Chains A and B, each alone.
With several copies, the nearest count.
Chain A
Amino acid sequence: MSFLGRGNTPAGGVNPERVEMALQELDMITDVFNKLVTSCHTKCISARYAEGDLNKGESVCIDRCVSKFFEVNKKVGEKLQTMGAGAAGAGATQSAFGQM
């Protein structure tokens, strides 16, 4: 997921652009992780809550779920690159500011 470029480094101080990019990458990772937790909870965890431990079936399901989620992440990323869809993402921002 290290697809954000990096700016040039100054000698000693803080390069705000580079910190900004690292933070954007961190927010992205946190966002993906939270979606992964929610999706795999929906797919694997019974909502009956008869006990507090993960049972064998749930544990195995989680491992496979994370693995498949990463594969889907990769496929979607490749598809977006093929389509050159960088532009399509910011629909509202573009629609609203088309005249600038």
Chain B
Amino acid sequence: MDFSTMNAAEQAHMTKIIEKKQMQDFLRMYSNLVERCFNSCCNDFTSKALSSKEEQCVLNCTDKFLKHSERVGARFAEQNADAMGAGSK
């Protein structure tokens, strides 16, 4: 995304809104992660406590999801940069 055509007041306004969106993105990512790891790891409801096996699965699931998101984000940024270099200039 290219903001060079925006004036300083507009850029400042955008920055503030983007900070708010990043907080919302983070919260949504958090709840998606809980949902995803719960659904994948918890299948036994004969007990209300998390078993040690389930707990380990949740920790690995969280860990792996974040690493996955980071890798996707890195590739996404590269592809986006390529697409914009080709498209807008």
Residues of A within 8 A of B (CB): 1-2, 6, 9-15, 18-20, 22-33, 35-45, 47, 49-54, 58-73, 75-77, 79-80, 83, 85-86, 88-100
Per-position contact with A for B6-23: 1 when CB-CB < 8 Å, else 0?
110111011101101111
Known: A39-B39, A53-B67, A80-B30. A75 touches B11 (CB 8 A): no
Contact between chains at B67 and A37 (CB < 8 Å): no
Interface residues of B (CB under 8 A from A): 1-3, 5-7, 9-11, 13-15, 17-18, 20-31, 33-35, 37-43, 45-50, 54-55, 57-73, 75-77, 79-80, 83-84, 87-88
Contacts of A44 in B (CB 8 A): 45, 68
The distance in angstroms between the C-alpha atoms of A28 and B30, with both chains bound, is 10
A-B interface pairs (CB < 8 A), number:
224
Asked if residues A62 and B73 are in contact (CB atoms below 8 Å), the reply is no
Main DSSP-derived SS at the B contact region: helix
Question: 8 shortest A-B CB distances, which residue pairs?
Answer: A52-B63, A89-B26, A91-B73, A90-B22, A66-B75, A64-B48, A95-B77, A67-B48
A90–B6 CB distance below 8 A: no
